[in-house]
Amino acid sequence: MSYLLPSAVFLLVLSVGMSLNFTEVAENWRRLNWSAWFRLLLATFIVPPMLALLGAKLFHLTLGETAGLFLVGSAPGAPLLTRNMARKGFDMHLAASYQLWAALMVPLMIPLLVAVAGRLYHRDIWIPPTVLLWEIGEKQLLPLTIGMVSARFAPELARKAQPVLNLLGNVVLTVMILLMLIKSGSALKSLSPLVPLAALLIAAGSIGVIRIIGFSDRLVGQTFAICNANRHVGLALLLSGRYLHAPQALPVVACYAVVAPLVMIAYVKLFPIQGRSAEMTTTT
């Protein structure tokens, strides 16, 4: 199973990269002002882990369950926004811009978040930023770059390979989630029945906070909302195994991997894309 998740992520990011243009990705960064980036930082890295701790408190979760939930809330930028999202009207270039920004912020933010949360529970936990930088570079930046270079210099090959890679990546990802649930075993049986509600709180809250901070371009807000709910379960699994050693964290992360897509589908149904405006600046 340790190879399935990296393989799924690599294939999906490679597929996404084949439909992207770096110029458009970079342009999205320049169109958002500093106020927007600050609010996005709060919405992406501060609010979801706070919701995780709030959910753990409200639903009286164990320390292991809390750890898994907190890591999910702390790990944004899952590279799994595939062509299916683009077909529903979301902007893949904008999603990729968000994903790259979140990936670059991860080595700075996650060590600080985990260290602070650890102190709340009287534990000293430090995740070296270099570990996170390597993970992000190997599993996200590298395949994304390969995909974008392929699209630039071999567009016909990229066009044909993209749907195959996307399908294969989603199949591998589905198998991985099923294996996660099976591997959880006794830990899954002892899991609090309220964990799905806590996962729902993070997913819905991640979408809600983006809507609260407000974007004048509706497509920008909706795309960022979907991106924010799509937390990086793979990174959460990696960190829980290496640094927290909490058996209950695995089924909690798997639970979020199941709940989040349902929340995102419901959001798309409730707030369908109706086209985008010319501007991409944020509201004041």
Residue 177 lies in a domain: yes
Say if residue 151's pLDDT is above 90.
Answer: no
Query: Which pLDDT value is given to residue 86?
Result: 58
Angle subtended at Cα 12 by Cα 9 and Cα 17, rounded to the nearest 5 degrees: 120
Amino acid found at 131 = V
Average pLDDT (50-62) is: 95
Say if residue 222's pLDDT is above 90.
Answer: no
How many other β-carbons are positioned within 10 Å of the β-carbon of residue 78? 24
Q: Which long-range contacts (CB under 8 A, 24 or more apart) does 37-42 make?
A: 39/213, 39/282, 40/98, 40/101, 40/213, 40/224, 41/105, 42/209, 42/213
- Tell me which residue of 137, 171, 176 sits closest to 11, measured CA to CA: 171
Contacts with 99 (C-beta within 8 Å, 6 or more apart), sequence order: 77, 78, 79, 81, 140, 227
Partners of 215 in the β-ladder: 282
Q: pLDDT band at residue 276, thresholds of 50, 70 and 90? A: very low
Rounded distance between C-alpha atoms, residue 41 and residue 211, angstroms: 14
Residue 278 lies in a domain: no
Q: pLDDT band at residue 148, thresholds of 50, 70 and 90? A: confident
Model confidence pLDDT, tens digit, residues 81-115: 555 565 566 777 788 788 888 988 999 999 999 99
Angle subtended at Cα 13 by Cα 7 and Cα 18, rounded to the nearest 5 degrees: 130
Q: Which two tokens stand for residue 246?
A: 């909490």
Q: pLDDT band at residue 212, thresholds of 50, 70 and 90? A: very high
Domain ranges, residue 38: 4-269
- Tell me which residue of 249, 13, 47 sits closest to 141, measured CA to CA: 13
Q: Are 48 and 202 in contact (CB under 8 A)?
A: yes
Contacts with 109 (C-beta within 8 Å, 6 or more apart), sequence order: 45, 74
Domain count, the chain: 1
Global confidence as pTM:
0.85
Q: pLDDT band at residue 1, thresholds of 50, 70 and 90? A: low
Model confidence pLDDT, tens digit, residues 224-258: 998 999 998 888 888 887 887 777 788 898 889 88
Residue 171 lies in a domain: yes
CATH number at residue 116: 1.20.1530.20
Q: Are 137 and 108 in contact (CB under 8 A)?
A: no
Q: pLDDT band at residue 59, thresholds of 50, 70 and 90? A: very high
- Tell me which residue of 139, 167, 168, 162 sits closest to 92, measured CA to CA: 162
Residue 202 lies in a domain: yes
Q: Are 260 and 199 in contact (CB under 8 A)?
A: yes
In DSSP notation, 55-102 reads HHHHTT--HHHHHHHHHHHH----S---HHHHHTT--HHHHHHHHHHH
Residue 99 lies in a domain: yes
Residue 33 lies in a domain: yes
Residue 44 lies in a domain: yes
Say if residue 138's pLDDT is above 80.
Answer: yes
Rounded distance between C-alpha atoms, residue 6 and residue 16, angstroms: 15
Q: Are 80 and 9 in contact (CB under 8 A)?
A: yes
